[in-house]
A and B are shown apart, each in its own frame.
Chain A
Amino acid sequence: MRTEDDLRDALATLERHAPAAVAVLPAALRGRRGHGLRAPQAIRLLAGITTAAALAGVVTALTLPGATGSHLPNGRVATAPAQAASSLRAKLLAAFSAASGQIVYEDSTTTVSTTGTPMTTQKWYYPWQASPGQQVRSRQLILGGDGTPVQDVEDIYTMPAPGSIPAGLPPAVQRKLPVTQQAAGVVAAIGEIIDVEYGTRTWSDQKDHLLLDNDPASPQVVMFDIENEHWAVVGTTELDGHEALELAWTDADSSSYLWVDASTYLPLREQDTFWSGPAGQVVTTTSSTSYELLAPTAANLALLTPPIPAGFRQTATQVLPYGGPGLG
C-alpha cells in the first residue's frame, strides 16, 4: 500500500512538466519587435531568469536606410541622407565594440494601459558583449509600484558557444531557441542563480541551474536585424544636456525611439510603445529605458550582486509563494 507521502513525492516530480514562462507569456507583455517571440524583458520578468542588456540588441541592430522623406508615426519626417546614415551606423558599431567590456546599466519603467501603474526594473549586465567562454554576470532588480523591491536576481554563467543547447532545456524552449537566438540573442546556459524574494523574505543560491539570458550583441542578432528591421534617423535633439541623435523604428504593433550621444555614439535612452489585443480591446504597453555604461571598477562590479537584507531566510530553491502544504 502506498502512503500519502509517496503520492506527494510523486506529484513533486511532475514539476518537470512545468512550461517555460517564455512560452506562455501573453502578447501584452511580449517584448520587442514581434517576430512571434517572447522578448528578453519578458523572459527576465517571467521566468525568474535574468537579464541582459536589451539595449545592445536594439542598437547594434541599427540599420540606417536612406530615410529622406520617410514618414514616421509621430508625423515627423526622417531627414538623414543615406550616406550620412551609413557612416553613422559604422560609428555606432565601432563605439559599441569599444565599450564591449563595460558594465551596461538599464533603468526601465514599463506601464500597461490596463493597469496604469508603472513597474520599474534596474538591470546590470557585464561584460556588455561577452565572448564564448567568458563569465557573464547579470542582475535584475524589480521594484513594485511604490518603489520597494519585489525581486532581485543575479545570474552567473559562462557564455556558451553560439547555438549550444544545454541538457534539460524544456522542449518548447528548445524548439524556439534557434529563432530567439537569432532575433534576440537568447542564450541557454547552466549557471548560478542568486535569488532574493522580498515578498517571502527569502533568498537562495542555486548552483548548476538552467537559465535563459540574452546576448543581444551577438553577431547573429546583428545580422538578423540588419536584414529584417530598420531604424530610421529622425534628426538631432538635446537630451539631458547631451546632443543626441534621435532614431525611430516602427512596425505594425510597435513604435520605438532611441537616442544616442552625438559625440560618443553610445546609447542614452529608449522609448517603446507596443499595441496588442483585438480591436476595441487594445492594450498599450509603454516602456522608457535609460542607459549608462559603467567602467568595471570594484565598486561598480559590486553592483552586480544583490544585497541580502538582514533577517531574510535562505532556502534551497525559490519559494513557492502560495504552494506549500501550510496553505489554508
Chain B
Amino acid sequence: MFQSESPDDGNAMRFEEFAASRLPAVLRFAGVLTGDRALAEDVVQEVLIRASRRWDQIACLDRPELYVRKMVVNEYLSWRRRSWRLLPKGTAADVDDRLAPDHADRHADRDALLAELGKLPRRQRAVLILRYYEGFSDSEIAELLGCTPGTVRGYASRALAALRVEMSPRMLAISEEGHK
C-alpha cells in the first residue's frame, strides 16, 4: 500500500499539492477520529510538521495521503502517552462531554451512539472509523495499525458489540472470510 515510486519519475506529489488537494479530507478524518477539534488540531499540526520535513520521502510513496492518514492515526493513538500531563483534570463525564455532540439539533440515539463511541478504547474507535468512515478494508486497516487483519476484526467485533451495532450480512461474510 505504501510502496515507493521511482524518485526519478517526476510524478511525486509536492507538499503544496498535497496541502491544496488532500488536506481538507485529512482534516475531516482527524475530526471524526478524535471527536474533538482541539485534539484533532494538535494531532494534525504535529503530523504536518513532521511530514513536511521529510516530504521528499513521503512523496515517493505510492499513496502519500494514505501514509499521512497513518501518521494521524498513530499520533492519535499515542497522544495520551505524550500529553497526558496537559489534559485538564476532570471526571469521565467531563471527557464524555468533550466527545459528545451538540444536542440541540441531533437525534437522541445518534447522540447516545456517539457518546458510547467516545468511551471505546482508542484502537477500537480507530478501527471503526477507518472501516466505516474511510471505507478501508480490514487488510488496509491492519497495515495502517501495524497488526494482523484478524486483530482488526477482533477490535471491530468488540467495538460493534459495545455499541450494539448489528453487522450487516455482507460485512459479516467479509469479516468471516478475512477479506474486505
Chain A residues in 8 Å Cβ range of B32: 11-12, 14-15, 17-18
Chain B residues in 8 Å Cβ range of A16: 31, 37, 101
Also in contact, A150 and B37, with CB within 8 A (given A11-B129, A115-B59, A328-B136): no
A283 within 8 Å of B by Cβ?
Answer: yes
Nearest to A3 among chain B residues (CB) is B166
B93 within 8 Å of A by Cβ?
Answer: no
A:193-215 near B, CB below 8 Å: 197, 199
B16 within 8 Å of A by Cβ?
Answer: yes
B168 within 8 Å of A by Cβ?
Answer: yes
In angstroms, Cα B32 to Cα A235, docked, is: 54
Also in contact, A4 and B165, with CB within 8 A (given A10-B113, A283-B52, A328-B180): yes
Also in contact, A172 and B28, with CB within 8 A (given A3-B166, A10-B114): no
Binding-face segment, A178-186, A291-299, A315-323? A315-323
Also in contact, A11 and B132, with CB within 8 A (given A2-B164, A328-B180): yes
Also in contact, A46 and B165, with CB within 8 A (given A11-B32, A12-B133, A283-B52): no
Are B52 and A28 in contact, CB atoms less than 8 angstroms apart?
yes
Expressed in whole angstroms, the minimum distance between the Cβ of B149 and any Cβ of chain A is 12
Given contacts A6-B165, A21-B27, A327-B135, 5 further A-B contacts (CB under 8 A): A13-B106, A45-B19, A197-B21, A322-B25, A323-B25
Are A115 and B14 in contact, CB atoms less than 8 angstroms apart?
yes
Chain A residues in 8 Å Cβ range of B15: 28-29, 112, 114-115
B173 within 8 Å of A by Cβ?
Answer: no
Q: List 6 contacting pairs A-B, 8 Å CB cutoff, sorted by A.
A: A2-B165, A4-B167, A16-B37, A18-B30, A115-B55, A171-B38
Instruction: From the candidates A19, A119, A327, name the one contacting B17 in the complex (CB within 8 A).
Output: A119
Are B53 and A277 in contact, CB atoms less than 8 angstroms apart?
yes
A240 within 8 Å of B by Cβ?
Answer: no
B137 within 8 Å of A by Cβ?
Answer: yes
Mostly helix, strand, loop or mixed at chain A's interface?
Answer: mixed
In angstroms, Cα B32 to Cα A15, docked, is: 5
A:5-55 near B, CB below 8 Å: 6-21, 23-29, 45-48
Chain B residues in 8 Å Cβ range of A311: none
Chain A residues in 8 Å Cβ range of B140: 328
Nearest to B118 among chain A residues (CB) is A14
Mostly helix, strand, loop or mixed at chain B's interface?
Answer: helix
Also in contact, A26 and B49, with CB within 8 A (given A4-B165, A320-B28): yes
B:1-40 near A, CB below 8 Å: 14-17, 19-25, 27-32, 34-38, 40
A145 within 8 Å of B by Cβ?
Answer: yes
A:264-309 near B, CB below 8 Å: 277, 281, 283
In angstroms, Cα B56 to Cα A142, docked, is: 21
A170 within 8 Å of B by Cβ?
Answer: yes
Chain A residues in 8 Å Cβ range of B61: none
B171 within 8 Å of A by Cβ?
Answer: yes
Interface residues on chain B, number (Cβ under 8 Å): 62
Also in contact, A2 and B134, with CB within 8 A (given A11-B129, A13-B114, A24-B48): no
Expressed in whole angstroms, the minimum distance between the Cβ of A107 and any Cβ of chain B is 16
In angstroms, Cα B37 to Cα A20, docked, is: 9
Nearest to B159 among chain A residues (CB) is A7
Expressed in whole angstroms, the minimum distance between the Cβ of B94 and any Cβ of chain A is 17
Expressed in whole angstroms, the minimum distance between the Cβ of A183 and any Cβ of chain B is 20
In angstroms, Cα B167 to Cα A324, docked, is: 19
A220 within 8 Å of B by Cβ?
Answer: no
Chain A residues in 8 Å Cβ range of B123: none
In angstroms, Cα B55 to Cα A199, docked, is: 20
Chain B residues in 8 Å Cβ range of A114: 15, 52-53, 55-56
Chain A residues in 8 Å Cβ range of B114: 10, 13-14
Chain A residues in 8 Å Cβ range of B77: none
In angstroms, Cα B140 to Cα A299, docked, is: 50
Nearest to A151 among chain B residues (CB) is B20
A325 within 8 Å of B by Cβ?
Answer: yes
B63 within 8 Å of A by Cβ?
Answer: yes
Also in contact, A7 and B128, with CB within 8 A (given A15-B32, A114-B15): yes
A241 within 8 Å of B by Cβ?
Answer: no
